Amino acid sequence: MKTADYDKSLFDNVCLKERHLCPINWITQLWEIILAEPETWRKDCQEKVNKKKRDNQEIKKILTDELGVTFTPIEFKNNDLWIYDYFSDQQFDEMFDFPKEEMLSKGHKAIDIDLYCAITRYDFEETEKLLQSGANPNYNIPEESECCFSFIEGRCAFYDLEIGNVLFGNHHEAAVDYRDLANLMAWGINEKMFNLLAKYAKPKR
């Protein structure tokens, strides 16, 4: 940046292909979410995660102090970089093999089933409302063999594998592309959901 000419518009949006624009500050914010707690990572990863976190903080400082970039909230619901719409439209019978009435008759609490549905749809507002009302993110739903925490942890692990090569420096030689940013968006939104659940309860291992 200090030794060569560059296209300053790159610091507004990263354009990967027609209609797919990603504000560069979103990338910084996504890494902030993902790297928030390096101490929770495996011990053999913590040093690299800490370094990535420091680098990301330095990038943010340059963007704000030197380039005057305005950090706008990430529009998880309305962007071309992730398949949010697919999940947000899921109906109950797409999540479970049993009708809700049958599940309730087996002793499941409606509030816990509703919480599972809300996190599956990435409905943050509804998720927090249910958590505040006493929904249990550790409640294991036998029909799914998992609870809300394990569901989100599984998704985080999946996108960790998809984009982790960028994080740990073993990325392929080709430039970062649309798929990488889409996976980063998906990883970030799952970490954000996990953090929301963790505000109200600790995951039971």
Residues lower than pLDDT 70 in the chain: 1-21, 78-86, 142-144, 164-177, 205
The model's pLDDT over 46-99, given as tens digits with 9 standing for 90+, comes to: 898 899 899 999 989 988 888 788 888 887 776 666 655 567 777 887 788 888
For the chain, the domains span: 8-198
Write the burial class of residue 73 (CB in 10 Å: 0-12 exposed, 13-18 middle, 19+ buried).
exposed
pTM for this predicted structure = 0.83
Q: Which residues contact 180 (CB under 8 A, 6 or more apart)?
A: 163, 166
